[in-house]
Structure 1
């Protein structure tokens, strides 16, 4: 159902592109101890009953602990007690925490895609997507992982200079975009909506497919 994020050159903002007087805050991964930018990590807090809970927005109140957005890092932090040290308390850990995190990351990415559609930053359907790609107006191409191979290949060939995301099936895309029929191809135009979706998609892809 969930496959891959094909990484290609794109125009996502980097630290060097941001205003010099707006330094991005950094956190430290409780699994590896390495410095971590918030958009590349996951924040966890304690719920009122002391349960370890993911904070996908990074804005929930209370003391937070950060971990690299990967299954491996999360499992390492749980095994080594990284959350207990950072949160200054021994949290209750749900048995399905890893699955909850993956489901939450999936929801965040699809919500960002749906928002892009509602703000007019996304087009849906093979012909509309192909037109946007030919006019070089797209920043991201989203193909359903279970969509037809021929259509995916044709559009991917037109998207040689942008990121191609194939993390979701047709049903998930349709639900996110508020459509009843099959939804196989989506293109997001350059702008904040595409960048928001890419940040969430990359966290999800990194969680599902960690690299060494």
Structure 2
């Protein structure tokens, strides 16, 4: 079982204790090569590093993993890049699950309808989206915020995730030319959002 969100671990790089939601775990594979354990489920002793591309790259360059595991460690050529790829794959898979559960809409028209419905959990835009299309969706999102304020409702922020290209989104969802998507309310969508936010933090 993965650790609960309340669990804390020591970052092997900074030597500070942090919640596991702020960290990413690494383990040795059967071949002795270090790999990111993005689900924090792998057997064996793990090394926890702050959830950041820069932190993982620094830990690799300073031989933090070998010191922590007290054994010889073989690192991939670009551990930080591999970690980003694994987080992207995890996010993409979760989007596919959300779509299967009926909690993800694609296409400009359906996404705008999702925004207007008030059931939007997160807005997703491809990283290679045209600027005008990106702006139109952002404007629709802002209009929703303004409407809530004018109605005297509590302020809220809907995350706008730009993490995957249109090709990556299309491959994950089994569709062509995916530029805009909307995560709706539901457990599968919430899981996808959580993974998207982790990837966002890693890229920051």
Fold shared, TM-score > 0.5 on shorter chain: yes
Tell me if 1:201 matches 2:196.
yes
TM-score, reference length from structure 2: 0.84
CA distance in 2, matches of 1:146, 1:72: 24
Bigger share in helix: 2
Q: Does 1:72 align with 2:54?
A: yes
Cα distance in structure 2, aligned partners of 1:39 and 1:195 = 15
2:74 equivalent to 1:105: no
TM-score normalised over the length of structure 1: 0.81
The equivalent of 1:169 in structure 2 is: 165
Partner of residue 185 from structure 2, selected from 169, 178, 190:
190
Can you give the 5+ residue segments of structure 2 that lack an aligned partner in the other structure? 143-156
Choose from 150, 175, 181 the match for 2:132: 150
| Aligned-partner Cα distance in 2 for 1:98–1:53 | 10
- Return the offset for 1:117: 0.6
Runs of 5+ unmatched residues, structure 1? 1-21
Q: Distance in 2 between matches of 1:45 and 1:159?
A: 40
SS of alignment partner, residue 105 of structure 1: helix
Cα distance in 2 for residues equivalent to 1:23 and 1:106: 21
CA RMSD of aligned residues (A): 1.7
The alignment covers a number of residue pairs equal to 187
Residue 90 (structure 1) shift: 2.5
Tell whether 2:101 aligns with 1:133: no
Q: Give the equivalent residue in structure 2 for 1:8.
A: none
1:146-169: CA deviation from partner (whole Å, max 9, x where unpaired) = 223222212212223301011222
